[in-house]
Amino acid sequence: MASLSLRHIYKKYPGGVTAVSDFCLEVKDTEFIIFVGPSGCGKSTTLRMIAGLEEITEGELYIGDRLVNDVAPKDRDIAMVFQNYALYPHMTVFDNMAFGLKLRKVPKETIKRKVEEAARILDISHLLDRLPKALSGGQKQRVALGRAIVRDPKVFLLDEPLSNLDAKLRAAMRTEITKLHNSLQATFIYVTHDQVEAMTMATRIVVMKDGVIQQVDSPQALYDNPVNLFVAGFIGTPQMNFINGTLEKDDDGFVYLHFGEIRIRLPEEKGNADEIKPYIEKEVIAGVRPECIVDTPMQIAAMQEASFEAYCDVTELMGAEIYLYLIANKVEVDESLKERKNVVIDRSGEQKLIARVSPRSTVRAGDTVTLAIDTTRMHLFDKETEKAIVFLTEEEKKKAARVAEAEKAAAEAENAQTETVEETPVEEPVEEKTEESVTDTSVTE
């Protein structure tokens, strides 16, 4: 198996279209990396550049210690699983899985052993004599995976392999692929637009937007600490609630998020943090996960300074939980005005929220309810840059200070060394007079 190194990779098409921009990523051996993002973000293009199916415009790609920019796909020692399976319809499952090995003139005994071993791992041994038309979608996907496994490649590349499957089969295949990765201990690069697949399978997730990496981290770290508004909204189902509000500080030193008629007090550690001071009396975007909006009396009593009233517009019973679709700062309109055609009702001040609550919740559509926000888990974002306002712990601040001090010392040492080299006088070489030169001089004179 092998590691991968993508160094400042660009993909530019004629007409000035840049599909991938300055893509830098170090993939460790046996990692399960997932590229995730909306359609058109460049994730499949990046995967195809790794496979050699797309030419790299700029940058360097290493598989292990080998630079492979100009290496043909068949010589990169990678295996790719496509979205549409790409099985040969006239070949049996066995022949489909063995086809690549036959092209490489691998001995028949070795081919048989590898195909049977891969079939055992994927639980398709009983399907080896069937044609693809006699297989279900999930079985076809396993055959495509088996064809990749028998090659024993350094890197597995999977381009949205589950997108053609139904929801139940997709969930089952997610588990199968995770088990396969654990048993093979191979390096997997996986592309998907489904953030649920990314969260459940990946070692690390690469979130992309418009050809640019937004954040690379473990699934839980992405969920808990998104670096910007895009990552916060993309990771998580239902997505994070975003509230446009103003940070205000009262006479007692407490900081509040004020939106419409609602004021939510921030915890003291956040309100007194150095990072928040430049944003006082300015507009910010607050991010609240649906599970951080609570409706039980006990929780509301404990978060009294973060409680508010909202109108429940719709409820969705999911079995293990209920989604509440809420409207805070709801505009109340007189019934007589609703009937008048020339009246425009301004609802711009309303704040729509989604809460994930217990299935035992008694809230029903049409109710006006009291809720509270767990502000210890609230995220704040700069409204202009959309970057997260990061709150560092004391230990993190000390670590950052130590790193900054070390970098400063290294820079000063480098500058001092450069100045020393510049100040050192360079002695002019003294031309040694040879016997011939002396003789020539004397003759000249």
Model confidence at 332: pLDDT above 90: no
The residue-averaged pLDDT of 97-119 equals 91
Lowest mean pLDDT: which of 20-29, 279-288, 327-336?
327-336
Question: Which residues, 6 or more positions from 270, have their beta carbon under 8 angstroms from its beta carbon?
Answer: 255, 276, 375, 378, 380, 391
- Region 249-278: mean pLDDT is 91
Task: Give the amino acid at 409.
Answer: A
- Residue from 196, 230, 215, 209 nearest 379 by CA: 230
> Which of these ranges, 135-144, 190-199, 419-428, has the smallest mean pLDDT?
419-428
Per the CB < 8 A criterion, the answer to whether 176 and 142 are in contact is yes
Mean pLDDT in the chain?
Answer: 87
State yes or no: pLDDT of 428 exceeds 60. Answer: no
Q: What percent of the chain has pLDDT over 70?
A: 88
Q: Residue 415 and residue 444: Cα distance in Å, rounded?
A: 51
DSSP track, 330-353: PPP--HHHHT-TTPPP--TT-EEE
Query: Which tens digits make up the pLDDT trace of 218-254?
Result: 999 999 999 999 999 999 989 999 999 999 999 888 9
pLDDT of residue 166: 80
| pLDDT band per the 50, 70, 90 thresholds, residue 439 | very low
The pLDDT tens digits for 27-51 are 999 999 999 999 999 999 999 999 9
DSSP code of residue 324: E
- Helix (H, G, I), strand (E, B), or coil: what is residue 263? strand
Can you give the pTM of this predicted structure? 0.81
Count, in order, helices (H) and strands (E) of the chain.
13, 20
